[in-house]
Structure 1
Amino acid sequence: MQAPQHTNGDTMTSTPDGLELRAGPLRLALRPDVGGSIAGLWHHDLPVLRSIEPGALSNARAAGAYALVPYSNRIGYSRFPWAGRTWSTRPNFDDSRHSVHGVGYQRAWEVVASDTSSATLRLHHRPDEDWPFEFEAVHQIELGESGLSLGLTLTNRGDAEAPFGLGWHPHFPKRTRSRIHAELSGRWDLDEALLPVRHVVQQHGIDGDVAHLRYDNVFTGWQQSARIRDERFSMLLTSSLPYLVVYTPELYDFYCVEPVSHVSNALNLDDPSGHGVVSLAPGASTSAWMKLQIEEAR
């Protein structure tokens, strides 16, 4: 996906509450100042993602989607070993003792390019209590008439080698007959602290009605595509990333299908790199993409 070119205010759609992108029947509301989040995505005014009008969004956790940088899911008990010492991060998710979903969704992102159907956002993070290593993330968002394309590049801007990961956290609205189909072969089961402790075979992948699925797991052997259906839409989510997190909470009106680069809490597992953590030298980068193709249900 090519980066959008810098444009002036006459050609980009800007509102006091962020940016609005349009392509064919699709409309996307972007809040760079609220975690660089996608507040909502609509097809002829019907939500494709869990959607909120951008002026009502004050926390990226209520958004339709956001980027996961510089790690996905949980860092157990907000600490991890690296380069011969133990590093601490700050618990950041309600009353959880863990650090969750990185820092990108907690920060304002800079708009570096935008036009009517695309935008490029940038985040420059300096070491702090939420993440101890410097990095730059660039998020490319491109809306087409039949779907959404996202690209994410993370670069180590520090002066030492450091660990990183990335991904996306889209939320989908639960509807009648919401279903997920994904070809994959393994699952990490969780302990009482919601940390992965045991890898097991996941026979037959995932294929079922969301109302009957009970997952908060990261899956392995994912074939990098997932079919998401309900009575309104048939969607195909594809990604370059090797792992898939699926979250189907019983008591909420949404579910999540999240392509990610590493196993949850991988920094605290034996062989973090074997579980997807990328060790970047100063100036080195890692990149990924995700696409969501959208069709009306037939």
Structure 2
Amino acid sequence: MAELLIGGMPAVTLRASDAPAEGPAILEAVVLPGRGMMLLQAKVRLPSGELFELIHAPPLAEAPGQLDGGPDDFAGNKAFTFGGAILVPYANRITGRNLEGSRETEAEVDGRTVRLLRNWGGKAPGAAQYSMHGLILDAQIPFEQPSEDVVRGRLQAGSFGGRWPSETELEFEWRLAGGVLSLRIDAHNRGDEVLPMGIGWHPYLNLPSQDRRQARLRLPAAKRAEVNDYDEVLPTGRLLDTVGSPYDFNAPQGAALADLYLDDCFTELERTGGEAVVEVLDPAAGVGFRATSPSPEVHAIQVYAPTDKAFVVVEPQFNLADPYSPLYPQGTQTGMTRVAPGGSVTYEARLEAFALGT
């Protein structure tokens, strides 16, 4: 059988050789080096012993047709419509002045003018169009797989095709150990300018019960970034209190999603043991999924949960949406890290499953 190529490179399967013998655990994962090291699939063992596709994505054999680089995949944006894309050198949206006759936007980034590709935006007539989720969505990343539970990649991203300040080298590692899936990204500034850096991860988590109304979200966060609407989804600059609002997911058991539509960025995160934590709980299936990050630079978690879908997207990320927007009051921590020449910053995240009540 011919090797399956996605983005011109083979898909990589990770298998956990040391997973617990029983109970919830992630047992297998598929990573795509040809699409920016994105996660495509993860098989989880549920409390019942059943194997379940945790990540909302097409079957592996259909993925090449979805991630085909065609008009609907401009700048790699199909990579964040399913699976688990890696977002570098910024997560979320960046707005700017759209340049006529091109699909570029001219944006101010850390005091410098850059030209970014406009690959997303609102659907309503006249809605804002902008650059979304970084510059490596369709990157081909050289990789090695030293063992069945680890894959590593390295990308000499440079200036991201002349679209970003300074010169960046990125190192990636996916590891599947003990039934837990881990991601590490090291961003090195190899240039002679300060490197603005925002990193995030965008996994779509399927609900085993398929019952979205009873599913619960736990996200200890004091603030939510208000947006203008759920079409453009652009920040107004106001950070609103979550406690006592419909967006209060702070309780130990979180709160039911019910009929609440979410495409919201939460910040001022309450850390547990130094880690940012978000949990998706499915009481009907007796299982929960927990994403954590020990990285102190993670200042926000975006949650996308449309009311007509049985998945929840949780996105631990350095930066708020549109982090250079002038609408934020002066002094607002919007999360972009400034890496000095010769310096580095690390992003880490883990994904695990657990039986409810444990």
TM-score range, shorter chain: 0.7 to 0.9
Deviation at 1:150, TM superposition (A): 1.2
Q: Letter of the aligned partner of 2:194 in structure 1? A: E
Match of 1:242 in 2: 299
Q: Using the alignment, how far apart are the partners of 1:67 and 1:218 within structure 2?
A: 17
Larger radius of gyration: 2
Q: How does 1:136-215 map to 2 (within 5 A)?
A: 136-174=169-207, 175-176=210-211, 177-192=214-229, 193-197=232-236, 198-203=238-243, 205-206=248-249, 207-215=254-262
Q: Which moved more, 1:87-96 or 1:177-186?
A: 87-96
Q: How many residue pairs were aligned? A: 285
1:126 match: 158
**Of 281, 286, 294, which aligns to 1:229?**
281
**Closer/same/farther in 2, CA of residues 140 and 83 from structure 1, 3 Å limit:** closer
State the alpha-carbon separation in 1 of the partners of residues 43 and 355 from structure 2. Answer: 12
Q: Deviations over 1:27-46 (max 9, x none)?
A: 10111112211110012441
Distance 1:146 1:84, change over 3 A: closer
Is 1:88 equivalent to 2:147 in the alignment? no
1:22 aligns with 2:15: yes
CA 112–156 in structure 1, closer or farther in 2 if over 3 Å, else same: farther
How many Å separate the matches in 1 of 2:308 and 2:145? 39
1:109 Cα offset (Å): 1.6
Aligned residue type for 1:122: R
Contact 2:280 2:312 in 1 (8 A): no
**Partner secondary structure for residue 137 of structure 2:** helix
Please tell me whether the aligned partners of residues 20 and 30 of structure 1 are also in contact (alpha carbons under 8 angstroms).
yes
User: What residue is the counterpart of 1:64 in the other structure?
Assistant: 83
Give, in whole Å, the separation in 2 of the partners of 1:83 and 1:209.
Answer: 39
CA contact (8 A) 1:41 1:64 kept: no
Specify whether residues 159 and 145 from structure 1 end up closer, same or farther in structure 2 by C-alpha distance, changes over 3 A only: same
State the SS of the aligned residue for 2:278: strand
Q: Deviations over 1:29-77 (max 9, x none)?
A: 1111122111100124411222433332224234421211110100013
Equivalents in 2 of 1:272, 1:97: separation in Å? 26
Deviating more after overlay: 122-131 vs 247-256: 122-131
Normalising by structure 1, report the TM-score: 0.85
Structure 2: gaps spanning 5 or more residues: 20-24, 46-50, 68-77, 97-104, 271-275
Residue 113 (structure 1) shift: 4.1
Task: Give runs of aligned pairs for residues 248-287 of structure 1, distance below 5 A.
Answer: 248-269=305-326, 274-287=333-346
Structure 2 contact 95–322 (Cα < 8 Å) conserved: yes
Structure 1 gap segments, 5+ residues each:
1-13
Distance in 2 (alpha carbons) for counterparts of 1:83 and 1:220: 21
- Counterpart of 1:183, as a letter, is P
Q: Does 1:49 align with 2:68?
A: no
- CA RMSD, 1 decimal: 2.5
Q: What is the aligned partner in structure 1 of residue 39 from structure 2? A: 38
Describe the shift of the 1:83–1:188 C-alpha distance in structure 2 as closer, same or farther (beyond 3 A). closer
Q: 1:102 aligns with which of 119, 134, 140?
A: 134
* SS of residue paired to 2:269: coil
Identity over aligned pairs, percent: 23
The amino acid across from 1:237 in the alignment is A
| Cα pair distance change 1:87/1:273, threshold 3 Å | farther
The 2-side partners of 1:160 and 1:247 are apart by 34
CA distance 1:61–1:210, shift in 2 (3 Å)? same
**If the length of structure 2 is used for normalisation, what is the TM-score?**
0.72
Note closer, same or farther for the CA distance 1:43–1:97 as it changes in structure 2 (3 Å cut): same
Amino acid at match of 2:135: V
